[in-house]
Structure 1
Amino acid sequence: MKKLLLLIFIIFSSNLINAQQTFSHAIGATGFLGTRNANLHAVGITYSPRLNIFKTGESSTISVGTNLGIGYNLKNNFADKNPITFHIPISIDFNFGLASTKASFTKNKSGGFFGLGYSFEQAGLSLDENNIEEDTFVKENINGPMVNLGYQFKIASQAFGIRASYLYGIGDFEGGYLTSLTLQYIFD
């Protein structure tokens, strides 16, 4: 984890790549679904800032970004009765076509991205697995490696995107995973 944070700091502070850096962001509605050991069913909003650090082609970049999310748990069987959950991933993505660069908004009708990263989330860990009627869950943080991918498209002249992510939980949530699906408006 410390190595990942150091890498991100170096990328953001390096003077060698400043000429290629551009910022973009999006906002949207999202759904979170946890399975196996990570119990979560939530809906919420996501804000996705991204720093393009390398331009790899006329309409492609490599970026560092996040998809900060906050959600409302639809299940009410949490011991602490707090319905709010969060989603904090950090990823390195390859972006192509629409929304990959500032110029791509006029040149491309569609595009996409895929990437790898690490994510911190909140989910429910079962307190009593032997209770057949209904488990009670306690909120715990889940973290682990994640992958994400997305498709970007235009409706009229506005850019939108669909993003999906998959987190494989480690630690207390080993074997559990969280998925999210997001529809976003992309600012140009």
Structure 2
Amino acid sequence: MEKTSMKSVKLALIATLLAAAPAVAYAQDVGATVYGNDGNPIGTVESVANGIVTIDTGKHKAPIPADLIGTGETGPSINATKEQIDGMMDAQVAEANAKRDAALVEGAAVVSADGMPAGKVYTIDAEDTVIVQNDGGIVTLTRESFAVSPEGALMALYSAQQLTANTVAVPEGAEILTPAQARAKQAEMASSGDGEGASGASM
């Protein structure tokens, strides 16, 4: 299942670094190579939408304002090197992940990528599997399936429709466990009978 794009949540635009870029914007084509101010390739254009050029550096997909891309001797260029772009993206991803990890705790309210209430975090295991409980049952996600929204809410990177489609009903009285928690409990109870728990469909 495809996650909703979260560029606006995870990745800030790199305008500060590129403030001295050429004033005349270069019309970008998907697949074009973009060069740095050292003359070396930064990456290729993956997409162009709403004034943002997404450049695939091989390590990150960096969103660059189109008006900060100019024309150099080798073609389209920006006022930075590949190392600088990747370094800034590394820092932004680390900051976003730190905010996510601080918000991702048991009992935290969750919203969908389209802003709808999606339940609460029921449990998180040592393998970073997360169970979210809602009125319809439970859905099993991974830590990487979450981010913090611009409003500061813990957000699953799926739409409400996607989350609903992957919600599994929990039989009355069933214990809710992640797959890893269920395996551990079954191993402990092997000599005394089955320990039946409920786990959601993984996304």
Whichever structure has more strand as a proportion of its residues is 1
Confirm or deny a common fold (TM above 0.5).
no
Rg bigger for which structure?
2
Scaled to the shorter chain, the TM-score interval is under 0.3
